[in-house]
Every structure is written in structure tokens, then in C-alpha cells.
A and B are shown apart, each in its own frame.
Chain A
Amino acid sequence: MADEKIKSPKIQATEQMKQLITEYYIDAKTTKLPEGSHKPICWITSGGPVEFLIAADVIPIYPENHGAMCGAARIAPGLAEVAEKMGFSRDLCSYARADIGGALTESGAIPGGLPKPDFLLCCNNICGTVVKWYEELARIFDVPMFLFDTPFIHVEKPEHATEYVRQQCLELVKFLEERTGSGFSLERFAEVAMLSVEAVDLWKGVLATAESRPSPFTCFDAFIHMAPIVTLRGTQKVVDYYKLLKKEMEDRVAQGVGAVHDEKYRLIWDNIPIWYEMRNLGNLFAENRACLVADTYTTAWAVDIRIEDPLTSMADAYTKVYLNISIDIMLEQLVELMERYEADGLVMHSNRSCKPYSLGQYDLSRAVAERTGKPSLIIEADMTDSRVYSEAQTRERVEAFIESL
């Protein structure tokens, strides 16, 4: 059948990844310790310094990851409506609306919803929205919130900004000691940071295999396989998992197996995925022999930490993430990405829910064209709120764009 030919080969490691994430959620939901207490649970933002939680034996839970799951399962709009009835405007971030709705109704993509937090760790290096969202979670669950404040970098990062963040690392350590009732081990932290660096390096290695022609995977695969690096970096399990995935991708490269049949066009994706539309979009690009070889999203978790001075390098790394820098610095990274992956064009998801990611895309798309001569396509959508998305219109625009290449 003709359809069979364009179907992407299945990534074998997916099963292990699913198992890893399922186990993680089961552990988090059943963390009761013998004496009736439980391992502390901390809800954390996707760009947050999770290494501290892992080192303190605290279970990290990611509402954004859950938001993505709700988006992919197409249940986000229903949860968002709960928040909307409380007075949260439909124009606010759809992750936040779905998460607040899920928290209040104890429901979501996981049976019974996410396990309740004992405290919250919010890092604003991805947006200011998370600060407001976590303030609401602190009210709902009546738990303390630690804001890890990473100053935005417009042109350059002054020394006092790094020092401010480094000092907060120490405050966070104190906060965790108070919450867990046990001392924070810097040795354990160094171990965790090392595992985190190892996993991040492996993940970078996975992403780098897509530099090959044909690319062994697409960004739609990366969006799924990034879950462990986001949620569990700093653990041995994640290191093991990415070794497996990297090996599979390297084998594909060696055997010339491409994710997209007869790959002709190579594109870069910008912004958070359109979670409810991943499968359709993946098919749509594949049908048109276009492979989305890299993206600006999954690389956001490829931060560097130096073992010699983990606190300073972490302060630096967590402040310099993609969404915490000005668009001219973003442009340099985007151009580098386009060149490294030999991309023919750029696909930008203009995401109503994410202003720091989306505002500036018009300027970026023009600047990329100037610098690389490559065109961009801008898709108007929302990462989880399918109510604002038009499939027909997107299909038409994607097909026209690829034709223009």
C-alpha cells in the first residue's frame, strides 16, 4: 500500500521510555513510607533546577509535562474550562488553565490527577507566567513556594545577575533542608549534577544524529523522547535510557534509515509542539517528504554544568536558557541550528499560550531569511487548546510552504 511506504519506522526505545515515565508516575503516586509519611513531592517548572530536588530525595512533578500529556490526550480544553469558570481568562496560558483545572478536580492524563505537592519550586527562566501559575497553586494547595528568580538577559549578563542566582541556590538548599528535615549533601548533589551532565550530553548526542541525511528521527519524536531529560535528569535510569536511544539512532544512521521516507526537505521547528496535533502534523510533513530535523525546544534542556563549580555554572546555565535571552541572541542560536542541520526552512508555531516564545517570531523569521536565505512558515495555534486551531488552514499553509521550497 502507498500509505505504508511513507510511514515512519517505529523507534524501539519508545517502550522503555513509556515504562520509565509510567514507573515515575506510579512511584510518585504511591510514595507512602512505612511510618505513614511519604517522600516529599515538589511541583517544579520545566526549566527549574531539578538537580537540587533529586539530591534531596524529593520527587519532582512537572505540571508542564502533565499539560503536554493532557494536550496530546486532547483533554486539556475540558480541564481549562474548570479554570475559566473560576474567572481565568481564555487568553491565559493553556498549560496553566488545564493544570489549575486538573488540580481542582483531581483529574488529568493520569488517573486521579497529579500527586499533590508538599511545596513548589518555580523558576522563571522560561516565562513570567509560571510565577502567576505557581502562586495560584500555592493558594490551591496551601503550600510554600520557592521562586528561583533568573534575571532576563537582554544584551549581556552582568556579574551581579549570576551572583544573585548563585545565592539563590544556597537559599534553595536551606529551603529544602527545612522542608525535608534532613541535611543537604553537597556530595550527593555533585553526583546528581554529574549524572545530569551525562544525560544532557547523551541527549545532545541523540539530537546530533539528526545532522545525518536522512535524519533518523524527527522533532516530533524528540518531543516525545525529551520527557526523561525534562523530568528525571540527574538519575542513573535516564542516563541508561539515553544510551539506549542514542545507540538506536546511531544504528539507523549507519544503516541509512530515515524517519521520513525519501527525505527531501529538512526543516527546523520553533516553539512548543502543538500537542494535540503531533501525529497529524508529523504525517503531513512526512507525506510531503519534509523532515523536521531539529527544533529550538528540545535543545532547551541541553544546558552545561561544570562539575568543578556546580553552583556557579548551574546559576549561569539556568539563566542562559533559550527563552531567557533576547531575540538577537536567539537569532544567533537559530542560525547556528539552521546551518548545522543544513535546513531548508523554518517552521514557527506562533503559540497563543506562550508570549516569550512567540512574540518576536515575526522579526526572527525576517532576520533568519536575511542571514540564511531560508524561508519561514508561521503556524498560528496553541500548544494544548485545540479550540483555537484550524486543521484545514494549517494543512493548506504547510503544503503551500513545502511546494515553495
Chain B
Amino acid sequence: MASALETLMELRDDPYSRARAWKERTGGSVVGFFCCYAPEELLHAAGALPVRVTGENRTVSKAGAHLQSYCCSLARTALDMALTGDLDFLDGTVFVHTCDTMQRLSDIWRLNAGYPFHVDFALPVRFEGKLAAEYTRAELGLVRSKLAHALGQFDDDAIRESIRVYNRNRALLTELYDLRRADPGIMPCDQAVWVVASAALMDKAEHNEILEEILSDLRGASGRSDRIRLFGVGSVMDQWEFLGMLEDLGGTFADDDFCTGHRYFEGDVSEEGDPLDALTGRLMERGQCACKHTPDRERSARIVQRARACGARGAIFFQFKFCEPHGFDYPAIKKALDEAGFATLELEMEQGSVSIEQLRTRVEALLETIRG
């Protein structure tokens, strides 16, 4: 029988196969979402399976009629997946307000993709202070009522139960990252990042079981320790070939700030009190995305601190071409990392047109610089 890790790795070749199977097996609703700020616990409490869509490596055929070529590949390829029927297992989609592109993609998706329901979660941009928290709490209430309308009623206890399942998942992923920070050799980074990404592609309880098994193998294991530790900065990381190459060249991400990586599972939700207050609390407190404004918490300080903590000697910025929020943050974060003594490399890419050979040369140069 395949090991738990092997089972997960197989999913990487067909990321939505488990969602399709789940739908067939349970007859339940599958709901797509894009962003790690999506209120997954509410979807879970409503009995739906939340599934994350982050685009894929493909040449678009139908999305070009809706989105200009200067729109990022995440939006273009995701829309293409919807318009060509590749996401026909979805019963609805939840969009979260993050960047300008996602807000327009939400409009275009709602008007063209044709799924039975569509919910917008208009998160604030200012993530500081009482006003933003109150507004977020009210907005979550509205999302909850829209989901109840689309998927059926669910009570506070159901949300609390979902919070417990999700907290367990976050605790297990946190342990995985803790183990890797101590010894990144126990699991290559392409697998570690996929383990996190896969959490948003299948039933959470099942993912928890798989994680328990993976972790029981990893606890006490020791890996090769000669890899150069790097810190990954970016949003979505889905370039497995690139990560494999990084490992082959003798480097690894010992930790990251990807929204499909560490940012996905960072921060717990309180299991006490009003569940929407609790969900609001995590949204406000966790490390924020470049799309959010946190006056007193500069992203660069957090990234430098975390790069240090994982023993990294360098950092790689993995930037999507045309991504404004991360593009604007890059110079300040790079400067902070430079000043803290980290070697940095910025890689810009578009899904579907990644040239591994070009990236290889640049990664080699970075590793050479670090080796000295």
C-alpha cells in the first residue's frame, strides 16, 4: 500500500481528483475559493468541501476574451479552467477582496463561469484597529447568511466543530514546518509546500489523518543537512519542477511566506466564544498578505525575522508577472533582507511559460554567491 506521503504526492498530478471523488461519494457541494483569507471554516460548517483554485500551468484558450494579456497568469489561467469546463465539479465560488485583479476576476467569473452561486467576502484593506475588526465581523455574518442560503442552514456549534478540525490541521502543518526548520533535509521543499497546498484540496479530516501518518514518520527522522537554507517570499507557489530543481542544486526553502505555504496555516482560531468573533480574530492577527495594509506591522520586518529564525542564508522572491501588491513590496523587503545580510534573488514568472533552464542559471548563481 502506498504511504500517506505517496498518496498525497499522487494528487499533485491531478489536484482536483479527490474533490471530484468526494462529490461523487457524498453528493455534497464543492465550493471553489482563491485566497487563503477565504472563510473555509464556514464552508466546511455548511457541509461543503472548499477547494482552492490557484490557476495552473497552461496556455489560455478562452480567458483571453475576458482578461487582457497584462493580467496575471493566476487570474487568466484560473478563468480559463472555469470557462473550458475543467472546474465543472464546482457548485459555487467564494471570492475575497484582495487585489484589483481578483476583484475584477470576481465580476467576470460571476457573469461568465455559470456556477450556481457566487459569494464575495469584501474584506477590509486596513487590517488594524477596532473598526476593521467590527466591519470584518459584520461581513463574515453576511457571508455566513449567504452561504446558509446557498448551502443550507448551519449553527454556531457546526462552525465551532469546523474550527476544531481546521485548528488541528494548522497545528499539524505548523509541526511539519517546525520539524523542517530544525532539519530541512527530512523532506524536500517541493513536497513540504505541496503538503500544505493539498490541505486546501481535500476533506480536512482526511488531510489530518494523512498528516498524522506523515508526521509520525518524520518525528525523530534526520535528513541530509548540507543544503543551503533559503527563505521563500511570494504568494502562490505551485512550480513543483522549480522546487525540485532547487533541491537538486543543493538549496531548499527552510521556511516561506507563500500564501499556499506558511501563511495558509499561520495563526489559530479561538475555540471559545462567538465563532465569528474567533474567525475575525485570526484574520486580523496573522501575518498579512501584500494586499493588506497593517500600519504597525511592516511585512519586511516579519520576513527578516522569519528568515533568520529558519537559519536561511538567502531568500528567493517568487513573483508573478503583473502582480501589483507583491511587486510594490519587493524593493522594501529586498532592502531589509540585504541590510540583514541575506543574499536575494527575484524570479518573475507566469504560469504556463516558466523556463526552468533560465531559472536554473539564476538559482545556481545565487547558491554560488552564498557558498562564496
Hey, which bits of chain A sit against chain B, CB under 8 A? 86-89, 91-93, 96, 124, 127-129, 131-133, 135-136, 139, 145, 147, 149, 151-155, 158, 160-161, 163-164, 167-168, 171, 326-328, 350, 352, 355-356, 358-363, 380
Are A91 and B100 also in contact (CB < 8 A) when A128-B291, A149-B126 are? no
B273 within 8 A of A: no
Residues of B117-151 contacting chain A, CB below 8 A: 120, 122, 124-126, 131-132, 134-135, 138-139, 142
B295 within 8 A of A: yes
Min CB–CB distance B331 → chain A (angstroms): 4
Cα distance, A91 to B132, chains bound together (Å): 31
Cα distance, A163 to B124, chains bound together (Å): 13
Chain B interface size range:
35 or more
Assess whether A154 is in contact with B107, with CB atoms less than 8 Å apart. Answer: yes
Residue of A nearest to B299 (CB): A135
Min CB–CB distance B163 → chain A (angstroms): 23
Are A154 and B328 also in contact (CB < 8 A) when A131-B293, A327-B111, A363-B112 are? no
Min CB–CB distance B366 → chain A (angstroms): 16
Assess whether A327 is in contact with B68, with CB atoms less than 8 Å apart. Answer: no
Residue of A nearest to B141 (CB): A160
**A to B CB contacts below 8 Å, 22 in the list:** A87-B330, A88-B327, A89-B321, A91-B327, A96-B328, A127-B100, A128-B324, A129-B324, A136-B332, A147-B295, A149-B132, A151-B122, A151-B135, A168-B131, A171-B131, A327-B107, A355-B101, A356-B103, A359-B105, A362-B65, A363-B66, A380-B68
Residues of B60-82 contacting chain A, CB below 8 A: 65-68, 70-71, 75
Assess whether B122 is in contact with A87, with CB atoms less than 8 Å apart. Answer: no
Cα distance, A173 to B101, chains bound together (Å): 32
Residue of A nearest to B321 (CB): A91
B106 within 8 A of A: yes
The answer, among B104, B110, B324, for a CB contact under 8 Å with A93, is B324
Assess whether A87 is in contact with B125, with CB atoms less than 8 Å apart. Answer: no
Min CB–CB distance B130 → chain A (angstroms): 9
Residue of B nearest to A85 (CB): B331
B108 within 8 A of A: yes
Residue of B nearest to A168 (CB): B131
Chain B residue contacts of A171, Cβ below 8 A: 131
B156 within 8 A of A: no
Residue of B nearest to A361 (CB): B68
Chain B residue contacts of A153, Cβ below 8 A: 122
Are A355 and B324 also in contact (CB < 8 A) when A127-B100, A147-B125, A171-B131 are? yes
Min CB–CB distance A321 → chain B (angstroms): 14
Are A139 and B295 also in contact (CB < 8 A) when A88-B327, A91-B327, A152-B97 are? no
The answer, among B71, B321, B328, B330, for a CB contact under 8 Å with A355, is B71
Chain B residue contacts of A136, Cβ below 8 A: 328, 331-332
Mask of B44-67 contacts with A, CB within 8 angstroms, 1/0: 000000000000000000000111
Min CB–CB distance B99 → chain A (angstroms): 5
Chain A residue contacts of B108, Cβ below 8 A: 327, 359-360, 363
B115 within 8 A of A: no
A-B contact sample (9 more), CB < 8 A, given A132-B324, A360-B108? A86-B331, A87-B334, A91-B322, A149-B126, A149-B132, A152-B122, A154-B120, A355-B100, A356-B103
Chain B residue contacts of A96, Cβ below 8 A: 328
The answer, among B124, B139, B324, B325, for a CB contact under 8 Å with A158, is B139
Cα distance, A355 to B139, chains bound together (Å): 25
